[in-house]
Structure formats: C-alpha cells, structure tokens
Structure 1
Amino acid sequence: MSHSHGGHDHGHEHGQDEGHARGRGHDHSHAGHSHGPGVHVHENTDKKRVLIAACLTGGFMIVEAAGGWITGSLALLADAGHMLTDSIALWLAWYAFHLGERPATMRMTYGFGRVKTLVAYTNGVTIFAIALWIVYEAIVRFLDPPPVLGGPMLVVAVVGLLVNIAGFVVLHGGDRESLNMRGAILHVMGDMLGSAAAIVAAIIILATGWTPIDPILSVLVAVLILSTAWRLMKEAAHVLLEGVPESLDRDGIARDLEASVSGVREIHHMHVWSIDGSRNMATLHACLVEGTDPHGAVSAIKARLATRHGIAHATVEPEYGQCADARPEHLH
C-alpha cells in the first residue's frame, strides 16, 4: 500500500478541483468559504483588535523616537524603531484580515485567506532584521558608550510600557490559532520587552551612572525576539509550502479511511495542506472494491475527513482497479 506523493502533481490536483467546480457547482464553488460563520465572527473581532493595537503603537512610536533622540538612549531608539515596523506590521495584519474577507474568484479559487499567512511570514522576517540591527548597534555603543539622560528615559519607557500592555491586552483576546494574530501579538510582545528593558536600564543609569547597561539590555531583548520570530517564520513557511499541518498525520488519515469507510480498498495520491493555518484541505484517490457505490463512498470519506480529522474541504477521486494516473510501466 502506498500513500506517497508519487508522480501526482499538486497543480494537477488543483486543476482537477477547478474542473470539479465547473462540473458540480454545488460541490466546490464554495472553496473559498468552507469555513463556518463562527470563523467570520472571530476574524471580524480580530480585525478590530489589530486596528486598535495599530493605532496605539503608531501613535506612541513618534513619542518614543523623540524621547530616544533627546535622551540618547539606544533602548528607547531601538524600541521606537521596533514600534515603527510593528505599526506597519499591524496595519498589514489588519489589511490581511480585510482582504481575507473577499470571496473566491475565478482566478483566486481559494479566496484570499493565504494573504494572512504571507503577512505573518513577512512580519517574522522584519522582526528578525530589527533584532539583528539592535545587536549591531548595541555592540557599537558598548565599545563607545554615549551619555544617556536617565530621568526622561525612564518617563518615556514607563508610558511606552503602559501603551504596549494596552495593545497586548486588546490582541490577547483574539484567536491564538491564527498565524496572522500571532504575528501581531509577537510584535507587541517585543515592544513590551523593549519598554521593560528601557525602564530597567534607566533605573540602573539613574542609580549608578553605568550607561553600558542600555546596550546590554537591548541585546537581551533582541535575542528573545529572535527566537519567537524564527518560530513564526517556520510555521508560516510551512503553510506557504503547503506542508501537512502539524496536527495531522497524512498516512494515519489514509489508514483510518481504509479501515472505517465501507468499500474503500486503498487510499493513495493523498495530499493534505492548509490555506491559512486553520482551514485544512485534502485531495486523494480512493480505490474502491468492485460494486461499491462511488457517490456513497465519496460522501462517507468527506464526512469522515470533516468530523474526525477537521478537513472541511476535500476532493476525492474514486477509482476501480488500476489508478487513473498509473503509467503502463508502473501498473500494479
């Protein structure tokens, strides 16, 4: 028994899917809307949460940049730079939710849901780049520490932390399964860490006058941000590369279908992927026992995939005897 990807081209399966859509409009024309109304409600609230966080972050970023410039604090400047990209990232995340609401079209048959994953990946890359810049700037400042005004730095950092906490609370109530929301939360968490580090640095500078603490704490924040950014990038890249979702076992699902659906002899050429990290899809060939009703078998397979494995949208190709895609030299 084989569950391999074999010589079966994924693009071919997408074309097959579209062909089915044209042949049976009731079956696949809703490809971009296979998720239920509850998901739309959640995404609408997430969209509002991201918009509020974007306004908070963008507004305070200007104050913090001015504060960092006046006080000479890298911790504040680094956090302001981080907040600038965070603000842009949050606006992008908001736009991704907005775009994701558009219905599927003839050219974009799965809709625009994957834009959210693309934005999540982009957010991960930008955070990574910012963290590396902070490390470089910190090394330069550690070797030649500039004067830092601890008092004003402390005031700006405290206000910044309060703004970031407000943004985090707003976002934290959203859908943590959404890669787009997790990217937005990650940006605000990075800002919270940056503000906390700036507060600690300001207190130490006021108490001891030791300015190297400013770049040292900036590096610690950068390292923390790097690890979470890397994880976000990996997860988003996995979705974009159409990998099997972490929560699913493709071969296990194939074995389950063979064991539980009456008349199914073998499942092969199976592909499982996700549109946006939450909506799972599958295509597969179902080799049936002679005499099995193909319509009944396909319906049973789709029902099992939806209820047991969380795959709401599937394209199933029923077969008898040899595989329709088998080449003469590979018949089995």
Structure 2
Amino acid sequence: MGHGHGHVQVPSSGSASGRYVWRLAVALAIGAAFMVLEVVVGFATSSLALISDAAHMFTDVLGIAMALTAVLLARRSGPTFTRTYGMYRAEVLAALANAVLLFGVAGYVLYEAVDRITDPPVVPGLPVMLVAAAGLVANLVAFFLLRSGAKESLNVRGAYLEVLADLIGSVGVLLSGLVTLTTGWRYADPIAGVAIGLFVLPRTFVLARRALRILFQHAPHGVDVGRISEELAALPGVVDVHDLHVWTLTSGMEVASAHLTIDEEATSATVLTDAQNLLRGSYSIEHATLQVEPRESARRCDELSW
C-alpha cells in the first residue's frame, strides 16, 4: 500500500485583503489629503495635539500604502517553484511594519508632550478646531470603508487600527481646541497629545502580537490543534496521527499538514477524503497536505529528529 497525498490549492486571489483593494485606495487618498492640511496648520499654530494627529495620519497614510502594496503584490505574484506560497506573507509584514510605526509615533508624541508640559505654548483654538473637524469627517469615511475588512484580514486591520487611532485623535484635538478657545487653558493641547499616544499603544501591541504569531507559524488563534489530532485519529481506519502542523499563511488562509497512519483494512483514498472533509467542514481549512501511510512507512517518522 503506497502513500496517498491530498493537496488543495490556494487560489492566487484567496487572501481576505484582496477584496478590499478599492477601499484601501480611497482611504489612502483621503488620509494623504488631510495629513498635508494638519501638518501645515499644526506647525503654523504650534499645536502639539494637531502635530500628534498629523503624525498619526502620516503613519495611517504610510500604513495603508504598505497594506495596499502588499495586497497588490500578493495578487500579482502567484506561487512559483522558488516561491511556493507566493507573496502572501507580504501582507503580514506590512501589518507588523504598521505596528512598529505606531509604536514610534506614540513614543515621539509622549516625549514631546513631557517637554511641553513645563512650558506649554499658546495655541489658537479656532484653526485647530476647524482642521480637527475636517479630519474627523475624513477619518469617519475611512473608518467605515475599512471596518468590515478588519474582521477578516490582519493587513486591513492594521490600516483600520491606524484610522481608528486617527479618528480618536481628531476627537481629542477637537476637544483640546474647544477648551483652548473657550478657557485659554494652555495645558489642554499637550494633554490631548499624551492621551492620543496612550490610546494607540495597547491596540498596536495586539496588532504586533497577531502578526508575530503568523510569522512564527503558531497555530491560528482559536484553533485547538489537540482536538484536530483527536478527531483525525477517530476517523475510520486511522490508527495514529503525527507530524500535525496547523498555521496561517496570511489572514483568511489557514494551512495544515499531517501524517495519518492507517490499518491494513483501510483504503487510503477513503481516509484521505474523510480527513479533508473534516478539516474543511469543521475548521475551514481548505489547504491541507495529508500523507496517508501504512504502519511500516510510519516507522520512518520515528527516526526524524524534529
């Protein structure tokens, strides 16, 4: 009895990010336009809150640009003999790069805020409020464009979190401008800058952790590999399951491989079909490479060092 191999091909446009290209493009255009506006007015008025929001908008624009580039690269660069999984991991790298950018900007804003607390500059409230209100509208549009995609794609989620941070930032800048305009309290602006920086950090940590889990090929979040092993071993004809691996290639693309040892009466084709149906139906794993082997061949696996 020979070995049976089941291999379900992943389509070249299968990543979840691919369905949101036009949304990413629109969000990129909106963010770029208002980033320029916030930079000009922020430095003209010496508003740390507005400069902070502009910095977040910069990472937003750069992050969405990386996300969009990664999606297009993954779609156009299909699997080859040298890149057997194509360029899908580019999306995960873009998400990780977004997290690094957000960490850097948050650190810069907090550093500047501490320096300004001792001698806060006079910030005119009205222009800050007007720009913040325009930025709020722009971020709301981008927020709703990316919200649905953030549930499916880690790459889109990275861009979505940056837009969310900018949305909260615009609210903070708007409030600080209102306080400055009505009371003249100079500490409102640096405090808003600190609040924006602190808001970004925990969400950035979660994004970075999820990206690193994929890059280190950990099991997908919420997938119990032990249970998968038990269910595969319970299939008729299967006497042992080993070399089981489950990982994520990119968002929405889970991959599995395993060796299934069968008894003498079992049919390889039947066991293979049952295992594929189990992984597809219960765990949504469409791409599975399964080696079905008799007991004699399975002994070779015991000799492997890892």
What is the aligned partner in structure 2 of residue 124 from structure 1? 99
Tell me how far 1:108 sits from its aligned partner.
1.2
Question: In structure 2, do the counterparts of structure 1 residues 154 and 31 end up closer, same or farther at CA, with 3 Å as the change threshold?
Answer: same
- Quote how far apart the aligned CAs of 1:175 are: 4.9
Aligned to 1:327: 303
Give the counterpart of 2:253 among 274, 279, 298. Answer: 279
CA distance in 1, matches of 2:281, 2:19: 26
Distance between the aligned counterparts of 1:164 and 1:328, measured in 2?
Answer: 54
User: More relative contact order in 1 or in 2 (CA 8 Å, sep 6+)?
Assistant: 2
State the Cα deviation string for residues 15-46 of structure 1 (Å, max 9, x = none): xxxxx9xx98xx64x74428xx7x57x64441
- Per the alignment, residue 236 of structure 2 pairs with 262
Distance 2:304 2:66 in 1: 50
Displacement after TM superposition at 1:89 (Å): 0.9
Residue aligning to 2:59: 85
Distance in 2, Cα, partners of 1:326 & 1:90? 47
Q: Does 1:180 align with 2:155?
A: yes
- The structure-2 alpha-carbon separation of the partners of 1:256 and 1:117, relative to structure 1 and needing over 3 Å to count, comes to same
Q: Is the 8 A contact 1:287 1:319 kept in 2?
A: yes
Q: Once the two structures are superposed, what CA deviation does each residue of 1:263-319 show, in whole Å capped at 9, x if it has no partner?
A: 001111111101013111111111111232122212221121111111111111222
In structure 2, the CA distance between the partners of 1:197 and 1:175, relative to structure 1 (3 Å rule), is closer
Equivalent residues of 1:243, 1:273 under 8 A apart? yes
The more displaced of 132-141 and 97-106 is 97-106
Summarize the alignment of residues 181-200 of structure 1 with structure 2, pairs less than 5 Å apart: 181-200=156-175
C-alpha distance in 2, partners of 1:218/1:55?
Answer: 25
1:311 matches 2:267? no
Q: Against the structure 1 CA distance between its residues 74 and 328, is the aligned structure 2 distance closer, same or farther, given a 3 Å change threshold?
A: closer
Maintained 8 Å contact 2:139/2:167: yes
User: 1:257–1:264: 8 Å Cα contact kept in structure 2?
Assistant: yes
Match of 2:201 in 1: 226
Deviations 1:174-215 (A, max 9, x none): 352200111011011111111111111111111111111111
Paired position in structure 1 for 2:75: 101
TM-score in terms of structure 1 length: 0.85
Aligned residues: 300
Is the contact made by 1:32 and 1:104 (CA closer than 8 Å) also made in structure 2? Answer: no
